[in-house]
Structure 1
Amino acid sequence: MRDELFDVTDKICIVTGGLGQIGQNFTKALYERGAKVAVFTAHPTPERVERIFPSDQYQKERFKAIKVDINKKDTIEAALDELQELWKEVPDVLVNCAGIDTQPSAPPEVSGPFEKFPEEVFREVVDVNLVGTFLMTQAVGARMAEAGKGGSIINIGSIYGMVSPVQDIYAYKEEQTGVPFIKPVAYSAAKSGIYNLTRYCATYWGKKGIRVNTLTPAGVWRDTQDEVFIQNFTSRIPMGRMSREDEYNGAVIFLASRASSFMTGANLVIDGGWTAW
């Protein structure tokens, strides 16, 4: 029995970064609930697609992976033209999930003190996380507005866009290697910009039925993470653990469906209580 409130059947959904750790979960969750899903990614390789749909276990008419540079308007528009030709409608849902961050495994030249943080790295991180989100939102939102059928735009934020990183969590790196790791400023600055971009677009397009919201996750567990890092990180989370990569799927379905029909300009925080301290 279909749940009409959370139904996304036949909705045309775009997920940027839709083959990444969290993004692939959004892609699969939307697809499994009957949506047509297009992944915009810099690397649409068959191997990456097979991590979501092993052995071609999907209907190709409802899934498309397209090579897109989200920092280049011409590739975005070309991909949107391709989708409109394929599915004959403008998108109903955009999930802006593409992003890059600096991990504790990063080399010292990009993870040192704020005073010496490289300008080129700052620009790259802001370009992908914020400028790319702006360009995708601008292009897709414009088509939604022109079509007059509304839509939902979901921007993926971060707890580090809401609050500053707790640098003590990363102190173990200096103990292990003799080289300190300072969680860099670029990701926090870029993600913080997402929140006002969301609010701006929500008010700008509100009367056109285009809803724009932010989903804020916390740290996601990976089997490659250092055990000391995991212990340090989880000690800051009231629930006492990091999130699983699929624990944000329900929020995306909620924001994509009419279950959130009166929600716009909001920030849906799913962080195990991190920002509640």
Structure 2
Amino acid sequence: MASLVAHGARVAVVDLPVVPPDWFAESESICYVHADVTDRCSLEAALTCIASRWEAPFGLINNAALDSPPGSPAEENGPFESYPNASFRRVMEVNVTGVFLACQVFGGAMAKAGRGSVVNIGSTYGLVSPNQDLYQFRRDAGEEFFKPVAYSVSKSALLNMTRYLATYWGEAGVRVNTLCFGGVFNNQDERFLVEYAKRVPMRRMAREDEYNGAAVFLMSDASSYMTGATMIIDGGWTAW
């Protein structure tokens, strides 16, 4: 977000009506708009709010997503055979339906205006299956942990939603691309960090700031002839 603002963008953060994090501060270039990505009417209200404050947006980054990290309810991190249907539906509702609705509302407005860039945030786990061996140390310690199926399925779905919309809006001046991230360091368990590093050529997780340049590139005219593409930034994870 800060990188986009630094390059002259005005950024509206669209999220559930919760208290913004401590680091967040509204300014002439940043605002916080309440919305639920699974509710079309809520997104339409957010679009109206943003347009009345500034103008109709011509960039959209779909970043809202649910996952099941360590610490989630035990049934969500158990074996595939017992993964709850309700959990699967909840992840798909946010990670896929939410992107679908945001693209309808915001992308549709961009198509009417004749310009825009949509970036759907994917994951390496949408490109390749999670390596369950990465979590073997947890199972060795007696914890029943498997990376769940729903997140991977949802991120795979975005790849072809991106391609569909890129071709659908190609003549309308709206570009649509997927940006796939590898793992980001966030004070994970040291044992996880060691196992992760073994499986990536650069031998480490990404820093949060290492994805900023790609987001700026895809939002800007520097990528004016790029649409329907998948940009992968993962330290080489998917090269093996």
Q: Is the 8 A contact 1:237 1:274 kept in 2?
A: yes
**What is the Cα deviation at residue 44 of structure 1?**
4.4
Aligned to 2:43: 76
TM-score (norm 2): 0.97
Out of 213, 218, 221, the position equivalent to 1:250 is 213
Are residue 34 (structure 1) and residue 25 (structure 2) matched?
A: no
Where structure 1 has 5 or more consecutive residues not aligned to the other structure, the ranges are: 1-26
* Aligned residue in 2 for 1:125: 91
Looking at structure 1, the residues matched to 113 and 229 of structure 2 have their Cα atoms a distance apart, in angstroms, of 24
**Alignment partner of 1:205 out of 169, 176, 190:** 169
1:106-255 aligned at under 5 Å gives the runs 106-148=72-114, 150-176=115-141, 178-223=142-187, 225-255=188-218
1:114–1:184 contact (8 Å) kept in structure 2? yes
3-state SS of paired residue (1:65): strand
SS where residue 61 of structure 1 aligns? Answer: coil
What is the CA distance between 1:107 and its match in structure 2? 2.9
The alpha-carbon deviation at position 32 of structure 1 amounts to 2.0
Aligned residues: CA RMSD: 1.2
CA deviations over 1:181-230 (Å, ceiling 9, x no partner): 0100000000000000000000000011100000000000111x111111
Query: How far does residue 179 in structure 1 lie from its aligned partner after superposition?
Result: 2.4
Q: 2:93 and 2:3 mapped to 1: Cα distance?
A: 28
- Say whether the 8 Å CA contact 2:15–2:33 is kept in structure 1: yes
**Structure 2 counterpart of 1:91, which letter?**
P
Does structure 2 conserve the Cα–Cα contact (< 8 Å) formed by 1:110 and 1:121? yes
- 1:62 maps to which of 18, 26, 29: 29
Contact 1:162 1:192 in 2 (8 A): yes
Q: Does the CA contact (< 8 Å) of 1:104 and 1:170 recur in 2?
A: no
Aligned to 1:98: 64
- Identity over aligned pairs, percent: 49
**CA–CA distance in structure 1, aligned partners of residues 73 and 63 of structure 2:** 25
CA contact (8 A) 1:44 1:65 kept: no
Change (3 A) 1:154 1:204: same
Count of residue pairs brought into register by the alignment: 240
- What code does the residue aligned with 2:136 have? A
Query: CA-to-partner distance for each residue in 1:101-132, whole Å, 9 max, x for gaps?
Result: 11122232111111110000000111111110
Deviation track 1:57-87 (CA, whole Å, cap 9, x = no partner) reads: x6x2221101110000000000101111111
Whole-angstrom distance in 1 between the partners of 2:76 and 2:196: 21
Does the 8 A contact of 1:69 with 1:75 survive in 2? yes
Structure 2 equivalent of residue 51 of structure 1: 23
TM-score under structure 1 length normalisation: 0.84
Is 2:134–2:196's contact at 8 Å kept on the other side of the alignment? yes
Q: Which consecutive residues of structure 2, in runs of 5 or more, have no partner in the other structure?
A: none
